[in-house]
Amino acid sequence: MIAVTVAVLAVVLLVLARSRLRLIEVDGVSMMPTLNDGQRILAWVGRSPRLGDVVVFAMVPRGLPGDPPWMIKRVLALPGDPVPAGLRAVVGGDVLVPEGSMLVLGDNPRSSDSRGFGYVSLTSVLGVAPGRRRRS
């Protein structure tokens, strides 16, 4: 009886984990040295991002056909946070990040990120990579 209970509990936990976790393969060098091309990371689906978190999100509109479906970047600013002076021209002169948006940066200085495409919608976030948060 205990073995059956443990087996059922294990199946339930596995189903819950699979619905809340996604395995994502890094495609590119924009997050080097933190993440390398081809490396796989877990993303917690449904967790709200915080400053410094590494997030997986859909870039809309997407670039070229064949581009990866997800982008992986680090959260620089969330709604209500100040827009860094160097990004104000990119986002139309905003001083604060508007509701429903965030700014992201790649760890590689040559990354394609909010310095080029501006805000990312919070609704486009698939999940947050656990254990990858940068401490201030």
DSSP classification of residue 82: B
Q: Where are the beta strands (DSSP E) in the chain?
A: 21-25, 40-45, 54-57, 71-77, 101-105, 120-121, 125-129
Task: Give the whole-angstrom CA distance, residue 52 versus residue 55.
Answer: 9
Question: Which residues form the catalytic set?
Answer: 30, 73
Q: Is the dihedral of CA 43, 30, 77, 131 positive or negative?
A: positive
Residue type, 20: R
Instruction: Report whether CATH 2.10.109.10 matches the domain 21-129.
Output: yes
Tokens of 60: 């809309």
Task: Give the whole-angstrom CA distance, residue 88 versus residue 94.
Answer: 6
What is each CA distance from 18 to 14, 15, 22, 44, 98, in whole angstroms?
6, 5, 7, 10, 32
Q: Give the pLDDT of the chain (136 residues) as one tens digit per residue.
A: 787 666 655 555 555 555 689 999 999 999 999 999 999 999 999 999 999 999 999 976 666 666 667 899 999 999 999 999 999 999 999 999 999 999 999 999 999 999 999 999 999 999 999 877 775 5
Residue appearing with tokens 């917690």:
44
What is each CA distance from 55 to 2, 4, 115, 126, in whole angstroms?
40, 38, 16, 8
H/E stretch holding 4: helix 2-20
